[in-house]
Amino acid sequence: MPAASPAPGHAPGPGSGPVPVTNAQRRASADRLRAACADGRLTFGELSERTNRAWVARTTTELERAEADLRAGHPEGAQARRAPQAPTTRMVTLLGDGRRFGRWWLARRTVIVNGLGNWALDLRGALLDERILADATVDLCFVSLVGDLTISVPDGVGVDVSGLVALGDRHVDLAVVPTRPGMPRLRLRLAGLIGDLRITSGSLLGRPGQEHGRGGAGAAGQPTGLVSSARGWSRRG
């Protein structure tokens, strides 16, 4: 009688070779990762990294590593959850810089109204509202009189930029990697008078000149380029 074949997705007996995975198994793993992100157990950056590991996995062992500490539950998972946010968050600064770094909750739609100052957003540490994961989209609107906008995004996240800034440069410098299936896409709309835009993938941030490029915010969040000049004019006036 021939030996019974192992069930799909289960490792054969000791001494057997690695078990290959199917696209259906990769897709199911990516769905579980998104569910963990909706619970607050994964940041945007962690979701992107693990989703990539799931889709490039060739064996069940490699696939399991993408979810290694999630299957048994995360001790901080219940604390990380929160009541659903309003679909839109508004942030206003009249004079001064704005920063969002580390772990912070990102709404489905964010509107930033800026008078005079720079804004820096690091989306890699953001905790995503479940609407973002359902729609696979993050909408960000930046309305500014004078100020630069610097955004860091996880690798493999697509970016669309629309709108107008009357005087300023745009630098969209993304890692040359495929867009990861199911990852939210950033849609940025601009409306401003003076200011530069810089959007960079996380893996490129350490590149020489990246953090101190012309017109962007310096490493310490100090204003540079056009904004510095505008502040000088206001002081002299």
Residue 81: predicted pLDDT? 54
**Range from 21-35, 64-78, 191-205 carrying the lowest mean pLDDT:** 64-78
What pLDDT does residue 105 have?
Answer: 92
Give yes or no for residue 218 having a pLDDT over 70: no
pLDDT of residue 147: 97
What is the per-residue pLDDT for 17? 65
* C-beta of residue 210 within 8 angstroms of C-beta of residue 173: yes
Sheet holding 185-194, edge to edge: 88-95, 109-116, 137-146, 185-194, 159-167
pLDDT the model gives residue 182? 85
Rounded Cα–Cα distance for residues 203 and 3 (Å): 49
What Cα–Cα distance (Å) separates residue 33 from each residue in 30, 186, 193? 5, 19, 40
pLDDT tens readout for residues 10-22: 445 555 668 898 9
Query: Which two three-digit tokens encode residue 34?
Result: 């998104």
Higher pLDDT, 23 or 75: 23
Q: Span 98-105, mean pLDDT? A: 94
Over range 127-149, report the average pLDDT.
Answer: 96
Mean pLDDT, the chain, whole residue set: 80
Proportion of the chain above pLDDT 90, given as a percent: 57
Nearest alpha carbon to residue 226 among 160, 172, 173, 166: 166
